[in-house]
Amino acid sequence: MDLKVGLKGRAENVVYEANTAKSMRSGSLDVFATPALVALMEAAAVNALQFEAGESSVGTALEIIHSAATPIGMKVWAEAVLVEVDRRRLVFEIDAYDEVEKIGSGRHERFIIQEDRFLSKANQKSGNLKNQ
């Protein structure tokens, strides 16, 4: 995979009942939930990347500001730009918008992984739990 600073990705969604703060239990209002914004931002970063078979990436850090509320029915989107590549570590700057204004921004870190090794290590937890 050819990773270069400047790669861009985008993800969009519409605010609907299931991704509101009230439904996601991150608040009591029918507005776009912060956890949904996090997922949208991560999706934008993932959409900037294309991997060889057997490779993927996982999110390891995300720092965001959710600066404006968005009501049900409005379109929201996030735009990610790869700003740093350090071997397997990738850093993105991400901005999010609704149809009226900027609603958030953040910085997101991902690591490139080999799927088989990653899943093998993760699945070992189940075996460790059974042995306790």
* Active-site pick, 12, 17, 42, 52: 42
- DSSP string of 21-74, one letter each residue: HHHHTS-SSSBB-HHHHHHHHHHHHHHT----TTEEEEEEEEEEEE-S--BTT-
Q: Is 59 annotated as a binding residue?
A: yes
Active site residue 108: no
Please say whether the beta carbons of 106 and 43 come within 8 A.
no
Q: Is 117 annotated as a binding residue?
A: no
Active site residue 42: yes
* Active-site pick, 66, 70, 79, 108: 66
Active site residue 99: no
Task: Tokens for 29, please give them.
Answer: 């209002």
* Active-site pick, 34, 55, 93, 109: 34
Q: Look at residues 47, 55, 61, 62 and name the one whose alpha carbon lies nearest to residue 118.
A: 55
Catalytic residues: 34, 42, 66
As annotated, the binding site for CoA includes: 59
As annotated, the binding site for substrate includes: 59, 110
As annotated, the binding site includes: 59, 110
